[in-house]
Amino acid sequence: MSATVLRTFLPESVAGAEQQPLLRYILTVLFPKYIEELCPLPLIHLQGDTALRWPAVAAASFCGCLLGFLSGGHMLPRVVTRSRRERGFFSWGFAFLWYGIMCLGGLFHHCISPSPFFYKMDIIGTACSSISIIAGSILADDTSDATRIFLLGIYGFLIFAAVSGSQAMREVLYLGPTFFSIVPAAWFLWKVNTEAAAARQTSEAVRKRIWKWSAVAVAGALMAVGGVVGDKWLCLLFGSNFSLLFWAFLGCNIALFAFFPIVLQLAPPKQGENPNLKRS
Mean pLDDT estimate for the chain: 90
Given a cut of 60, whether residue 211 has pLDDT beyond it is yes
Give pLDDT tens digits for 258-271.
Answer: 999 999 887 554 44
Residue 277: predicted pLDDT: 47
Residue 269: predicted pLDDT: 46
- Of 28, 27, 54, the C-alpha closest to 43 is 54
Q: Stretch 9-22: mean pLDDT, rounded?
A: 94
Q: What percent of the chain has pLDDT over 90?
A: 69
Is the Cβ–Cβ distance between 255 and 276 less than 8 Å?
no
Q: Stretch 228-232: mean pLDDT, rounded?
A: 91
Give buried/exposed letters for 54-67 (b at 16+ CB in 10 A, else e): bbbbbbbbbbbbeb
Distances (CA, A) of 111 to 76, 104, 166, 188, 278: 29, 10, 24, 33, 41
Residue 267: predicted pLDDT: 56
Residue 279: predicted pLDDT: 38
Given a cut of 60, whether residue 237 has pLDDT beyond it is yes
Residue 201: predicted pLDDT: 73
Alpha helices in 107-229 (DSSP H): 116-137, 145-164, 167-180, 182-198, 204-229
**What kind and span of H or E run contains 63?**
helix 55-80
Residue 115: predicted pLDDT: 94
Confidence of residue 17 (pLDDT cuts 50, 70, 90): very high
Give pLDDT tens digits for 100-136.
Answer: 999 999 999 999 989 999 999 999 999 999 999 999 9
Kindly report which listed range (11-15, 150-154, 200-204) carries the lowest average pLDDT score.
200-204
Give pLDDT tens digits for 28-82.
Answer: 999 998 888 888 889 888 877 788 999 999 999 999 999 999 999 999 998 888 7
Residue 181: predicted pLDDT: 96
Confidence of residue 280 (pLDDT cuts 50, 70, 90): very low
Residue 197: predicted pLDDT: 84
Given a cut of 80, whether residue 148 has pLDDT beyond it is yes
- Of 110, 116, 141, the C-alpha closest to 42 is 110
Given a cut of 80, whether residue 16 has pLDDT beyond it is yes
Between 54 and 141, the more confident residue is 54
Is the Cβ–Cβ distance between 110 and 241 less than 8 Å?
no
